Each structure stands twice: as C-alpha cells, then as structure tokens.
Amino acid sequence: MMRIACVYLPSFPLQVHVRNAPHLAGTSFAVAELGERPKIAACSRLAWEQGVRPGMSATQARAIAPDVQIAPGQPELYQRTMQSLGESLMAFSVTVDISDGDPPVPRNKSLYLHVPTGTRGQAFGTALLAHLDKQGLRGRVGIAAARFTAWAAAAIAPKKETKAEPDKQLSLAAVAPENPNFVRATTTVPRGGAAAFLSPFALELLPIEDEVRQMLHTLGIHTLGDFAALPPPSVGRRWSSNGVDYQALARGDGPTVLTPLTPIEVIVETIDCDDELSDLEPISFLLRPLIDRACERLRGRGMAAARLQLTLYGPESSASPPPQVVIAPSRPTLATQTLLDLMRAKLGELSLEHPVLSLRLEITRESEPEACELDLFDHRDATVSADAVDIAIARLQAALGEDSVSSAELVDTHRPEKAFKLTPFSPPRKDRKRLRRAKRKLAQRKQAKSERADGEMILPLVLSDMVGAMRLIEPPQVQPRGLRALNVGDCTHKVVASHGPTRLDSEWWKDDSTQRDYYEVETDDGGRYWVYKAEGEYYLHGIFD
Amino acid sequence: MAVGRSPETDHRSPVTPMPYAELHCRSYFSFLAGATAPEELVARAHQLGYRALAITDIDGVYGCAQGHFAAKDLGLRFIVGSELTVRDDLSPLTCDGQWSGQRLVLLAANQRGYANLCKLLTIGRTRVGKGSSWVSWDEASSMSEGLYALSGGSDGPLDAAWRRQAPDRALEWARRLKDAFGKRAYVELTHHLAPGDDQRIIAMSQLARTVGLERIVSQDARFGSPVDKRIYDVQTCIREKCTLAEAGRLLDFNSERYLHSAAEITAHFDAFPDALANTTRLIEHFEFSLEELRYRFPDYPLPSNETPFSHLHQLTYQGARQRYQPMSPRAAAQLAHELAIIEKLDLAGYFLIVYDIVRFCRRESILCQGRGSAANSAVCYSLGITAVDPVKMELLFERFLSEERDEMPDIDLDIASDRREEVIQYVYRRFGKERVSLACNVISYHARSAIRDIGKVFGLSLEQVDRAAKAMDRYFSDPSPQGVPTNHFYRPAPDDEVLDSQSRARLRHETGLDPADPRVRQVFAMTRAFEGFPRHLGIHPGGMVIAAGPMHEAVPIENATMEQRTVVQWDKDDLKSMGLIKIDLLGLGMLTAIDKAFDLLRRHQGTDLDMARLPQGDRHVYDMICEGDTVGVFQIESRAQMNMLPRLRPRTFYDLVIEVAIIRPGPIQGDMIHPYLRRRNG
C-alpha cells in the first residue's frame, strides 16, 4: 500500500502574500479575513512579537501595533498558489491532492502526495522541504499510511527532526512559522504504528463539535488514545459528520484516497514589486523566482518551456499597453538560467515608458523536454553551447525584429530555387507519435525515392537570387547556333564547353510551372556556370566553385 | 545521346533517323503506373514510324490483346512482353525488411517463350495476394527458353544497383542475365534528360562491355505523349497516397518518358549507334504473335468409336425425341441445319461441355437454364440447355451462331443462386483446376470514382471531394462515343469546355466548388481524362474459361480477392477476341424460387413440372401481369416494366418477349414504344 505524505503549510495566507510581494518579509504584517469586521487570520513574526494574534479584529491589531500592515485576504491568489505548488510537486509524485479535505483548521493549508514506492520517507520529506524553500514557502512534512495520520504528523512539530515525539498539550496556534519555535521537519510514522503515534495527541486534533468534545473531556477522554480505546459500538458513527469515523481516525485507520490534481492549461506566475520600478536591473532580479516557479510547474507536468511571455504592468492610469517580452529558446528547456539570460537579453532592448508595479509570466507554449544533441558528448569539447546559441538568437531578434531570425526547411521539390524555405524561428517540438509517424513515412518515401529513376541534381555552390526571378544573362549572347558567350557582371566570357541539357518540367498544376533545360557551361577563363534555357532565353542560375 | 551535348544541339540540323522499335513501354494496364491505353500507344508508335512496339506492363499481359489487335489493324509488328518482378538476395531490402523486387523486361520470341512468360507471371501472381507478384531468380532463369531479357531500365536491377552505388551487384546481375539468357539478354540504355542520366548511361554501357552483353536503346516509356505526364503524375500520387503538393520528388523530373520520334531517338543516342542498330535487329527474332495462341477447348470424354460430332448428333436426336413429340419436319430440318453449321465450325466439343454441365445440374437437381441467344438453338433445346422451343417460337438460329460471323457461340447458363458454387466446383473437378479459371473484370474509373481519387490528389478536402463525387453523375453523364477510349490525352481544358455556364452555376451552388477556380478546373478536366482508365481487376460474375491444357500456357492467372478463386488476366472482351471460350455460369435467385415452387407443387398437388413443361397460357397469370401486379417477377418487375404492362397488356408468351425487349435503353431512346403501342392497338 502506498504511503501518504502531507505537506503542511502553516499560516498559508501570510506565506502567499510574502511570496507574491517579497518586500513584506521581515515586516509587521497581517492578513485579515474578509467580512464587515475583518479578523486577523495570520500575522508575521514581528507582528506576533508586537502582540498581534490571529482572531483579533483589525482594529484591535492596529491598536496594539500601529505600524502593522493589514492586507485583505485573497482566496483566489491562495488557490492559484496551491495550484502552482501542487503542479510543481507532481515532479515528485504522480498523485498530488490539493483538495484539502482535512479538518478545516483556519490559517493553515495542507496537501497530500503518494510516496513513490521504494522511496525512503525521510529522504522524500527532505526533498519536499527543499522544494518548498525554492517555492518561497515553509512547511513540514508528515508521512503515514492514512491522510489524517500524515496530517497530524506534519501539523505537530516534533522535538527532534528524526523522531516524532510531539508534545501532548501542543496548541495548534503554536505551529505558525512566525513562531520562533517553528521547526521544519519530516515526521515519519512507522508502518503499523499509527495508533501508538496518535495516541498521546490532544482530542482537539479531531474536528468534533465543541459540545461533544467538552462532554468527552468531562468523561476524562483527553487524548486520541483515550478516544480510540472507547468501545466501538458505543460511539460508532454517532458523532461523526459526513460519515467520518472519528474513532477510526484516532486509531490511524482514516481515509487513504487522494484526488489527483489536474494541471490547469496555461501556466501563469505573477509577482508584485516593492516599489515602482523604472530600472530593468531590479526587474531582472525579480524574474528568477518567477521563472523558477514556472519551470517547477512545467517539470511537474513533464514538460519544458518552449515560449514564454513576460508582461510588465505599470500603474492603472497608464494609457499605453503594458510592454511584453517574448522568448522562445531553440529547444524546450527547464533551465532557469538559460531562460533568465534570454529574458535579460530581450529586456536589455526594451525601453520603459512607465514604472513597473508587477510582473506576469505566462508559458505560452510548452513542449516535451528534449535532450540536446550536445548531451551525447562531453560538454567541455563542445565549442558552442546550445544556451549560447539561444542567447545569440534572442539578441538578434531583439535587435533586428522577431521575424529576422528564421529556420531553413528542406522542401521536397525538383525546382532548385524552391528546395528550401524560410520559416519563422520556433523551437522544435517533440511529439513522439508524430515523430514516429514522420519517420515511418520518411522511410517509405526514401524507399520509393530510391526506386525512382531520376538521380539528384548536382547544384552549384552559389545560386544567384535564390528566391524570385533568376538573373538574366545580359545581354544574352545567343548566336544562331546556340550560346557562344555569356556576360557575368561586366565581363564577357567565351563558352568553350557545355554539358546538358538536363530537362526540368515540374509542377504543372501551379501557375508558375516551369520548363527549363539546364546546362553546365565552361568559359575560356575556367569559370563553370549553371545556366538554363526557358522560353528561348538563357538565364544564369548558379556558379560552380 | 545527351552526354557532352552543347546547347548548339538544339539548333543542329536534323539527323537522318534510324529505324526504331520500342521494346519497353507500359500501358495503362500497369494499373496506376502507366498513363496511356494500348491502342493509343500502338497508334502513336505507328504514327512515329516505329518498326515494332512491345507493350510491357508490370507483371501482366493485360493490355497485350488490345495492343495486338490495334497493331494488326495498323500493320505494326506487336511484341508481347512484360516487366517481371524478380526478387532475390541481390535485391535491396525494403523498409519492412523484405527483398524488394526489381523488374526485368521479358519478351516472348516464340510460342515456348510466350508459354514460359505466362507461366512465370502465373507463379508470381498466385504466390502472393491480389495486386502483388514476384518470382525468384531461379524460377525466372529456369524458364528462360524462348524469352528475351532486357535489363529493365530504371526499375531494373542494373540501374537500381548503380543508383545505390553498388557496382558489384550490378555486375553480378549482368553476369546472371548472361548466364541464364545468353545472347538473348540485353542491357537497356535509357536517357530521359534527368539528372545523373549521362553518368548512368555510360556506366551501363561499360557494364555491358565488361560482361559481354549487347546493348539496345529503349525509352522505358510510361505514356505515349508528353501531356500524358500529368495523368502519370496523378497516378503516382494515387499510388503513393499523397497530394501533388506533397509528392515532390516522387514525381518524375520531366515529361521525357513518352514515345519520341525516331529522329529524336537517333539524335539522342547518336553516341551508341550499335545499340540503336541492335534494337531494330532484335525485333527480327520475335516470331510469336498472339494470333498463334495455342488455345484448345478441352476434349469431352467420348465413348469408343465416337467423334465429338457423332456423339453430339446422337445426344441431340435423343433429346429431340423427348422434346418434340412428334418431331415435325420443320424441327428436323432445323436440327439438321444447326448440326451442319456446328460440324463445319468444329464446335461439337463446346456443345458437349455445356451439355455436360447441364447434365450435372439435372443429376444433382440443380435448376439451371440457358439464357440469351442460346435459346435460338434447337440443338440447345434438344440437349436440355434451354427450355424454349425455337422452332415453335420461330427464333432465328443465326443470331446465336453463324458461319459468316467469326465469333464463338456464347451460351450463358442461369443456375439457382444458392447452388452455383456446386456447379463451379464440379467444373474444377471435371476439367482440372489448372485448366479452369474465371474471367476477370477490369474495374475502370468512372467519373464518380475518378473524382474521389483525383480530388484528394489535388488537395480538395474530403467533404469537397464527397460533394463533387455526388454531383459528378449529373455533370458528366454523357458517355464517350462508342469505341473511342475515354482516356484521350489530358489537356487543361477551359472551363467552358468541361461544363456549360448553367452547369457551372449549379455546380457552384450545389457543391460549393467554384468551376472558375483553376484547381477545380484541373480536377474536372483530369476526371474526364481518367474516365475509362483501368483501376484494378475484379472477378467476372460467372465467366469460366476452360482449356484443354494448363490455362497458364495461354494466359497468365492471378489470385482474385475472393479466397480460392483465380482469374485470367484478360476480360470477357479480350477472351472473345483471342478466341478463348468462356461459359457463363450465372447465379439467379429466381431459379431458386422456381425450384422451391416445383417442389411444393410436387408435394402438395402431385404435379411434376419442369421449365420446359410449364403451361404458358394461364389466363389468371396474364390477368395479373396486365394489371402490373408483378412484384418480384423476374424480368418484368422493374418500375418501367410495371408501367408498361397495363398498356401493352400481354396475353401470350411472345407478348412478354416483346415487353422485355422493348423496355430497353435503345428502343426507349429511339422513341419506339408509343408507335409500337399505337400499332398494336390498331
């Protein structure tokens, strides 16, 4: 049976606000619940030290700590952050549940993951905590066989990191991260030891109605162990709400089902600035966590960034549309540094008309991550790294325009000047099914072509006017008996030999179908030219090197 | 030849053309790999002054019968040949890991060679499923007698090995050819003004010299005239399942694979005069003509001291004594007349074979009935093949068989549909499986099927193709003139040539396709050009061909789609023109119903009837017929017939004959019905 890890995020609203506006860290700050008489839902350590406590009214809090900043709660932001965190955690486990069906403890949030088989609990927990750090969040991890047990293991701070020995009388309010006693830890409940682990915990952990709890206290039932020891028929589901068997929870036999998270379609990450920013340098600084988070979410989806769009929002009074920067690495990547470098290169060319107040990063195209061909070899031997190419392309696009950088694609045609085309540059996308199909088709085509009669045309190294009209040999020195001389530039050359014709007659179904007789012509100065005759006129198509 | 040719050659004075014969040319019977009808190829070859033409379709001689007769009419020498797919360990592997086949051109020099060619084609075609064929090199080399082998041009093993840069394989193939065919093997020199052709022709020439093989010039033609390249390109796309835009280099580099004039060829290959001379010299070795096709109808097992005719004579009079009671002088005279003609045309064996099949049906209580013109024969009536007395009905025997017409008689047998298979199996058992085969049916493109394939090739959406296909019958219903193949040279016709203005407006309204759109115009023009093109082979509904010897010595046999069925490579018209006799064993559901009715009558009323003794003047039956109450009644059940019956009011069997004969496209279009009715009603 798969074990469940609970990631417990105390004072979640507070953490989200600090994450979204990093300048709030270390200040006296509180988040108030919504409503006519808002109450403090969470407060920072400084506010705590000044006497602000969750549950106070905003007025009370201001009376105690006049400089405390009280922000209204933003449920939508919290939900988005949970989604973002959940998606990024999908890199650790295929099943991530952010539905938070636990006892509705105010201020705190928790999410659950299946621990992959064969993973050691402590190592898994440590990895999750490190990931939380990268996401700008703090929390604890509990690992057990059931959701409730895992939650309890995460919510109750252990005295030692490696061994779970919770304080019997620990108040839930004491676990807040702003509390100096907050411990970042992973608590692993041994297999079959859930009942013993839960036994000393206070009855308050169970979401039983207050009246019932009071009655139980009166009867001398103070801990989960006491409650679990009650004879089952006498309690059964009588006190349960929504069919939850509290006694089973107390025994560590609670629900184990997780609802897998579905990634939302477009990845968007936002961050607010400390002040109005007019310089691009601090903007670049804020970009890193933004890109980091986006990349972690992509990693969770098993995808990589193929195209990103950064929008710089200014004051609402600004009339001009917010400037946008788009980057498209040459291959889908999850390397934050590469994306950051590309973004900086593009930002370097941007001039701001108004100060920036917030940043919004959107992954406009994602694709399967591709191993770079250079990975096949020792990177030290590679003269040019793929990242450097990306940055160079980004700079070119920034300097010359988005359309200035193109990709060349081969075109399957007999017409030499149409044998390739330029397409807007975009990173290659990896679609395994499509690739397989294309490979199979290619093999079949190759087979069919190898059975074809015609050989390949040997093209000269230099083609004149690759696209568009061919250069006419002016004036055409056509004698009554054929081509005797040709003018290239200002020079006239006498033709001494020619080979051909090779007759091209293609694409009759198009308006620009063509019929040409190609010759390889040698002139008296040793030059070799590729000319063709069409409708009685001679044209120079290329020069052999 | 093109090597080192200067642009001056475009202006050089015309060379004196050498006589030329084309020995490697595909017709549209290469099924999507050749773009011109055999008759047109022959006509063009004749027009260009060729000494001879060989039609060499891929793994078959499908077009040879038509080509032969067209050439005969024009006085052109016709050579029978085929591109035979040979698969061997020297062949390259396909992407599926199979040996890919390469094609040698085999030409039949004599009767033995033709039989060997047919046998090889039969081996190849019956080895694999429908549409494919291959023989091993051992098989090809062991049956080389009477055959001339050409290296196969661009699809041949030598060119292919050179293209794959495997000169050792090319050399090995050339040596094999020489070992197996000796002086009857030739290296083909082809040049289509395509990239690499100069190098290839030199390489092939040197290879021939190295091995000691003679060289000939060929055009490896895929179509008759340059404009047919467009059809060939579309065929390539249909075959490769891609659009023209996607096809790219799958299409030929240019349109040079057509039949050039002798002057052009002489100029083209002026560096290889020996090869040109060999080409015309070679045709003198081909003495075989399809006229000499040795086909014999199987011998009927006869009692001792009997000839086929004497036996037929005896059987006829035995039967006549039962049919004609008493025998009238008219009947006796008719029988004598018919038997004399049958003896003169040596067709007694044929009548005996048909009699044998009918006798089997009778023995097995399978209801069977001769139909069509055979009903005009008193001999057939006496033998029990038909059930209508032609003497009484005053039917004309010459419609069935005539000395003046150089045609084989055609006896079609309707057999109770649920038991036809028993009869077919009997024929296989009686004459031997290798001597019996079904006739093929060449499935040709019609406007509707053509536009489906062509629309896709031109990149129309499936929806557009579907709508256009549904509209086709309305806009392209006019059939091509009789006797003129519809696959006339494709040309991009102006839209007013394809459709009139009214039709264009309707087409736009009904299908959403704009006839002024060049692509749509091309689709419609190409569709017209494709009408009548063979697409694949099917099975004739009932035509069985029986031979005295192995069938594959007369015509190649191949697998049909239906399991355990084989068909010959010629359809009913080709069989007829080549003098191969076909017996149609057709399944008829109504006979099954009649059979069951006879059985019911026998059981419930004790009445024993057969087809010949059915009472023909039942008043109540004619009353129902006159009211048009004929649902499910064979021949007079169609809506047109049911409409006509109350007006014509048949009261005799002969009236019914008129009724069936007059409701036909010819009399209807000739506006003969009303005059007849007026005359009939006085």
ipTM of the prediction: 0.80
With an 8 Å Cβ cutoff, the interface of chain A facing chain B consists of: 411-414, 443-458, 480-483, 497-506, 508-509, 511, 517, 519, 533, 538
Q: Pick from A436, A494, A495, A508 the residue to mutate for testing the B interface (most B CBs within 10 Å).
A: A508
Nearest residue on chain B to A485, alpha-carbon basis: B7
pLDDT at residue number B11: 42
Among A443, A457, A503, select the one facing B256 at the smallest CB separation. Answer: A503
Please give the average per-residue pLDDT across A261-285, as a whole number.
80
Which parts of A278-374 are beta strand (E)? Answer: 304-313, 324-327, 356-367
How far is residue A128's CA from residue A7's CA, in Å, rounded to a whole number? 8
Residues of A in contact with B9 (CB under 8 A): 482
Among B12, B195, B200, select the one facing A502 at the smallest CB separation. Answer: B195
Nearest residue on chain B to A446, alpha-carbon basis: B95
How far is residue A498's CA from residue B95's CA, in Å, rounded to a whole number? 40
Among A447, A503, A511, select the one facing B94 at the smallest CB separation. Answer: A447
Q: Do B195 and A452 touch (CB under 8 A)?
A: no
pLDDT at residue number A206: 83
Tens digit of each residue's pLDDT (9 = 90 or more) over B282-325: 999 999 999 888 678 888 888 888 899 999 999 999 999 888 88
What is the second-level CATH architecture of the domain A267-370+385-389? 2-Layer Sandwich (3.30)
Enter the pTM of the model.
Answer: 0.68
Q: Do A501 and B6 touch (CB under 8 A)?
A: no
Q: Do B100 and A451 touch (CB under 8 A)?
A: yes
Measure B5 CA to nearest chain A CA, in Å: 5
Please spell the DSSP secondary structure of B281-318, one letter per residue.
Answer: HHGGG----GGG----PPPPP--TT--HHHHHHHHHHH
Q: Do B253 and A456 touch (CB under 8 A)?
A: no
pLDDT at residue number A540: 81
Q: Nearest CA to B370 among B611, B111, B55, B623?
A: B611
Tens digit of each residue's pLDDT (9 = 90 or more) over B488-497: 434 444 444 5
Q: B195 at the A interface (CB within 8 A)?
A: yes
Selected residues 91-110 of chain B with any CB under 8 Å from a CB in chain A: 92, 94-95, 100
How far is residue A47's CA from residue A61's CA, in Å, rounded to a whole number? 9
Among B10, B250, B519, select the one facing A449 at the smallest CB separation. Answer: B250
Q: Give the other-Cβ count within 10 Å of B339's Cβ.
A: 20
The span from the first CA to the last CA of chain B, in angstroms, equals 79
pLDDT at residue number A48: 86
Residues of B in contact with A509 (CB under 8 A): 230, 244, 458, 519, 522
Q: Do B254 and A511 touch (CB under 8 A)?
A: no
Could you tell me the two tokens for B338? 């018919």
The lowest-confidence range among A178-182, A348-352, B313-317 is: A178-182
How many contacts does A have with B, using Cβ atoms within 8 A?
124
Among B248, B253, B522, select the one facing A504 at the smallest CB separation. Answer: B253
Nearest residue on chain A to B10, alpha-carbon basis: A482
How far is residue B360's CA from residue B354's CA, in Å, rounded to a whole number? 10
Q: Pick from A410, A452, A496 the residue to mutate for testing the B interface (most B CBs within 10 Å).
A: A452
Residues of A in contact with B160 (CB under 8 A): 451
Among B100, B193, B230, select the one facing A502 at the smallest CB separation. Answer: B193
Residue A234 buriedness (CB in 10 A; 0-12 / 13-18 / 19+) = exposed
The lowest-confidence range among A215-224, B209-218, B233-242 is: A215-224
Map out the domains of chain A as residue ranges. 4-251, 267-370+385-389, 407-451, 470-544
Residues of A in contact with B198 (CB under 8 A): 499
Nearest residue on chain A to B7, alpha-carbon basis: A482
Selected residues 147-176 of chain B with any CB under 8 Å from a CB in chain A: 153-155, 159-160, 163-164
Nearest residue on chain B to A503, alpha-carbon basis: B193
pLDDT at residue number A455: 61
pLDDT at residue number A177: 46
Tens digit of each residue's pLDDT (9 = 90 or more) over A483-500: 777 776 667 788 888 888
Q: Is the pLDDT of residue B141 over 90?
A: yes
Nearest residue on chain B to A496, alpha-carbon basis: B6
Q: Do A499 and B240 touch (CB under 8 A)?
A: no
Please give the average per-residue pLDDT across B457-472, as a whole number.
84
How far is residue A252's CA from residue A69's CA, in Å, rounded to a whole number? 41
B431 compared with A99, residue with greater pLDDT:
B431
β-strands B135-136, B77-87 pairing: parallel
Tens digit of each residue's pLDDT (9 = 90 or more) over B221-247: 999 999 999 999 999 999 989 999 999
Could you tell me the two tokens for A398? 């920034």
Nearest residue on chain A to B6, alpha-carbon basis: A498
* Residue B476 binned pLDDT confidence (cut-offs 50, 70, 90): low
How far is residue A18's CA from residue B586's CA, in Å, rounded to a whole number? 90
Inter-residue contact A439 to A501 (CB < 8 Å): no
Residues of B in contact with A538 (CB under 8 A): 7
Contacts 24+ apart (CB under 8 A), B636-642: B636/B660, B638/B663
Q: Do A454 and B164 touch (CB under 8 A)?
A: no
Q: Pick from B3, B8, B169 the residue to mutate for testing the A interface (most A CBs within 10 Å).
A: B8
Nearest residue on chain A to B227, alpha-carbon basis: A508
* Residue B682 binned pLDDT confidence (cut-offs 50, 70, 90): confident
Q: Do A453 and B240 touch (CB under 8 A)?
A: no
SS3 B492: coil
Measure B219 CA to nearest chain A CA, in Å: 12
Measure B232 CA to nearest chain A CA, in Å: 12
Nearest residue on chain A to B249, alpha-carbon basis: A413
Nearest residue on chain A to B198, alpha-carbon basis: A500
Among B193, B249, B522, select the one facing A509 at the smallest CB separation. Answer: B522
A408 compared with B308, residue with greater pLDDT:
B308
pLDDT at residue number A444: 65
Name the helix (H) or strand (E) containing A144.
strand A140-144
Q: Do A501 and B2 touch (CB under 8 A)?
A: yes
* Residue A433 binned pLDDT confidence (cut-offs 50, 70, 90): low
Question: Under 8 Å CB-to-CB from A360, ≥6 apart: which residues?
Answer: A268, A269, A270, A310, A311, A313
Nearest residue on chain B to A498, alpha-carbon basis: B6
Q: Pick from A456, A479, A498, A505 the residue to mutate for testing the B interface (most B CBs within 10 Å).
A: A505
pLDDT at residue number B110: 94
* Residue B609 binned pLDDT confidence (cut-offs 50, 70, 90): confident
